[in-house]
């Protein structure tokens, strides 16, 4: 929207040379865009006097002075506004527009308060007045800054009720007709119906009687009305304690990074403390899913590696999205209703930790404060990084091409983005927050925590394992194209059990029946059903001889495991594709029991036993190879 003028036309309005206009463009004093070899200048960036002069020369021009569509959906030409309020009021409002636009340029600056105070002082107004001008301009553009005459001023229109309904009904159409078009249609209908002749100003006064609720519903539709007008409950966060409510969601960064030879847009999964507005847990990955939600939640609960980041604890309630990732069995048990007595099979991470889950209303982003924080993240952080692609197609930087940026090596890598994000979070947590009247870090440290204690890392890891149901077959549990067995499964054959597993460690399944742990079933080799014990021993000797021979041949090639690790590392120079905040390995002062501490200790012993066994195997293997002449003899 808006009116764009050629350099020649602007030079005439300003009574300067075209070269002077071009210099103003280069100094960013005028808003301009390229067209062919020349420029087009936005009329609204000209001084008020020039805009008024343009309106006098072209009274019928539909000039819109807002950079975004106003909330109430109205659009006026400058001539129409002057007809309603007079030239003096319009000129005063245009000067306010200039100041408001200058203020909005630093709205998301970290030093915005100091800059806005200087701007208010330069223009002889208070900081409160400046904020009011900014809000009025964002909501209603030029119309919001015009000093309205008293309602008693002027003669009220005397149109019949039928005519008034026609004018309002015609204007409240989804095609968003202009006031001039409505006036022209009224004149035609008035001749047919015998209604009184009305001036254009009279028709506009009728339109001004429309409420904002009517305008948004009629001209922008139900969804916009729900977002902008529908009454919404407000929350008093001062009554909350820290970690009483955590709010979680996904966000796709508005920038491309280089990973695996491709330009990709990474996802951020984050948890925000509702009381302090601190980002207490996060995970950056190529795609947000239930896995990254669990990793970010783990990060939110455990103490951090960096002592300057004190956020940790178990929340009382989490406020989460309706998406399938947040409704996964792993996180919530797959149930939306709180139940205190359901068994382990039906429980997710939150239920085991006695954390309640409340779901956001579908398609209602205003219901979660973290949505607004994602906008802040874009405006304070993402926008200034290489590879920024814009939040909308119209915001895309001119000539942006992520493939060319990738070829030139100008995109960040995923690890580089993670480092910069960590630095930004530190700055965000120590920056003054207008709603809090303090910094998020200070609020977090000064407000009482809702629950004391943190879970043991090992127990939390076990709790966050994926889980599913399975039926015990006569030969064990079938999963991942393998068979898992433990002698304690004998009495559970043909029974349904719950299995927990780490997707990165599928060599074992933790088996539960009716809420109680039964055993840890392991993957077994498939043996012939008719093989005797002697046959099995003989076959194992053949296997051992074959293993020694192939190892000898492999070692003769001269490529060690150290060489292999170096080659692999150079191949995957982009590194991992999921990054979460670093948690501390030190035990917490106060530990919260999760019910999985016994299993956690058992898992730790099992893995330590495996490590020791592997070390012994490697030791005797090396000794054996030396006895065979360095592994080069067959």
CA 504, CA 506: separation in Å to the nearest integer? 6
Per-residue model confidence (pLDDT) at position 121: 86
Per-residue model confidence (pLDDT) at position 538: 63
66 contacts 97 by C-beta, under 8 angstroms: no
CA 215, CA 174: separation in Å to the nearest integer? 10
CA 217, CA 221: separation in Å to the nearest integer? 5
CA 268, CA 319: separation in Å to the nearest integer? 17
Per-residue model confidence (pLDDT) at position 559: 55
Per-residue model confidence (pLDDT) at position 586: 67
Partners of 41 in the β-ladder: 5, 32
CA 461, CA 502: separation in Å to the nearest integer? 9
Q: At what angle do helices 48-57 and 78-85 cross, to 10 degrees?
A: 100
CA 486, CA 518: separation in Å to the nearest integer? 9
Q: Residue ranges of the domains in the chain?
A: 4-145, 161-228, 237-454, 465-523
Q: Phi, psi at residue 590, to the nearest 5°?
A: -120, 120
Low-confidence ranges of the chain (pLDDT < 50): 1, 62, 64-73, 151-156, 324-327, 329-330, 335-347, 362-367, 525-533, 567-568, 570-572, 631-634
What is the architecture of the domain spanning 237-454? 2-Layer Sandwich (3.30)
Query: Which pair of tokens denotes residue 57?
Result: 């020369």
Strands 279-285 and 267-273: antiparallel
DSSP-based three-state secondary structure for 599 = helix
Per-residue model confidence (pLDDT) at position 282: 92
Mean pLDDT of the chain: 76
Per-residue model confidence (pLDDT) at position 593: 56
Q: Tell me which of 2.60.120.10, 3.30.1330.10, 3.20.20.70, 1.10.10.60 is the CATH number of domain 161-228.
A: 1.10.10.60
Per-residue model confidence (pLDDT) at position 102: 84
Query: Which pair of tokens denotes residue 235?
Result: 């929350």
**How many CB atoms are closer than 10 A to CB 433?**
18
CA 449, CA 75: separation in Å to the nearest integer? 50
Which candidate, 472, 417, 491, 107, places its Cα nearest to that of 268? 417
Question: Which run of H or of E encompasses 521?
Answer: strand 516-523
For the chain, the residue count is 634
Predicted confidence (pLDDT) per residue in 394-437, tens digit: 778 888 999 999 999 999 998 899 999 999 999 999 999 888 88
CA 263, CA 409: separation in Å to the nearest integer? 11
CA 48, CA 36: separation in Å to the nearest integer? 28
Per-residue model confidence (pLDDT) at position 369: 79
Q: What is the DSSP letter of 449?
A: B
3-state per-residue secondary structure call for 263-309 = EECCEEEEEEECCCCCEEEEEEECCCCHHHHHHHHHHHHCCECCCCC
Fold of 465-523: SH3 type barrels. (2.30.30)
Question: Which run of H or of E encompasses 535?
Answer: helix 533-555
CB hemisphere CA count around 432 (13 angstroms): 8
Per-residue model confidence (pLDDT) at position 526: 35
483 contacts 475 by C-beta, under 8 angstroms: yes
């Amino acid at each position: 929207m808006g009116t764009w003028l050629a350099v020649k036309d602007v030079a005439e309005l300003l009574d300067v040379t075209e070269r002077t206009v071009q210099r103003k463009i280069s100094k960013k004093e005028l808003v301009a865009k390229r067209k062919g070899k020349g420029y087009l200048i936005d009329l609204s960036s000209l001084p008020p006097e020039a805009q008024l002069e343009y309106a006098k020369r072209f009274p019928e021009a539909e000039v819109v002075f807002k950079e975004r569509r106003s909330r109430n959906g109205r659009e006026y030409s400058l001539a129409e506004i002057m007809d309603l309020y007079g030239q003096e009021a319009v000129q005063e409002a245009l000067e306010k527009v200039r100041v408001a636009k200058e203020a909005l340029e630093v709205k998301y600056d970290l030093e915005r308060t100091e800059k806005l105070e200087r701007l208010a002082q330069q223009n002889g107004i208070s900081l409160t007045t400046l904020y009011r001008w900014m809000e009025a301009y964002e909501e209603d553009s030029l119309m919001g800054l015009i000093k309205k005459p008293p309602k008693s001023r002027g003669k009220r229109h005397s149109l019949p009720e039928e005519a008034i309904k026609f004018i309002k009904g015609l204007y409240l159409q989804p095609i968003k007709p202009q006031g001039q078009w409505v006036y022209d249609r009224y004149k035609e209908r008035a001749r047919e119906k015998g209604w009184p002749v009305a001036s254009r100003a009279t028709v506009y006064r009728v339109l001004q009687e429309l409420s904002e609720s009517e305008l948004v519903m009629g001209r922008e539709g139900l969804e916009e009305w729900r977002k902008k007008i529908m009454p919404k409950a407000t929350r008093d966060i001062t009554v909350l304690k820290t970690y009483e409510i955590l709010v979680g969601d996904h966000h796709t960064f508005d920038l491309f990074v280089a990973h695996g030879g491709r330009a990709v847009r990474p996802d951020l999964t984050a948890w925000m403390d509702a009381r302090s507005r601190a980002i207490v847990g996060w995970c950056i990955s190529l795609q947000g899913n239930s896995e990254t939600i669990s990793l970010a939640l783990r990060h939110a609960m455990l103490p951090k590696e960096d002592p300057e980041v004190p956020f940790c604890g178990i929340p009382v309630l989490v406020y989460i999205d309706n998406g399938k990732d947040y409704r996964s069995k792993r996180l919530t048990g797959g149930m939306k209703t709180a139940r205190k007595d359901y068994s382990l099979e039906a429980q997710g991470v939150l239920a085991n930790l006695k954390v309640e889950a409340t779901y956001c209303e579908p398609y209602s982003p205003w219901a979660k404060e973290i949505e607004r924080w994602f906008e802040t993240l874009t405006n304070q952080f993402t926008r200034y990084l290489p590879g920024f692609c814009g939040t909308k197609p119209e915001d895309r930087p001119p000539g942006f091409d992520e493939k060319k940026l990738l070829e030139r090596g100008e995109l960040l890598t995923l690890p580089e983005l993670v480092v910069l994000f960590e630095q930004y979070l530190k700055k965000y947590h120590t920056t003054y927050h207008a709603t809090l009247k303090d910094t998020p870090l200070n609020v977090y440290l000064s407000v009482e925590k809702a629950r004391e204690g943190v879970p043991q890392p090992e127990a939390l890891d076990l709790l966050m394992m994926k889980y599913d149901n399975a039926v015990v077959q006569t030969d064990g549990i079938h999963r991942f194209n393998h068979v898992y067995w433990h002698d304690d499964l004998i009495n559970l054959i043909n029974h349904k059990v719950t299995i927990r597993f780490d997707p990165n460690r599928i060599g074992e399944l933790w088996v539960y029946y009716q809420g109680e742990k039964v055993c840890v079933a392991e993957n077994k080799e498939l043996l012939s059903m008719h093989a005797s014990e002697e046959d099995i021993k003989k076959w194992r000797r053949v296997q051992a001889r074959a293993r020694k021979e192939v190892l000898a041949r492999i070692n003769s090639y001269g490529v060690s495991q150290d060489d292999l690790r170096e080659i692999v590392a150079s191949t995957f120079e982009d590194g991992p594709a999921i990054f979460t905040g670093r948690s501390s390995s030190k035990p917490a002062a106060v530990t919260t029991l999760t019910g999985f501490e016994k299993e956690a200790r058992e898992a730790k012993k099992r893995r330590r036993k495996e490590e020791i066994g592997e070390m012994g195997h490697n030791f005797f293997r090396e000794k054996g190879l030396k006895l065979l002449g360095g592994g080069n003899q067959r």
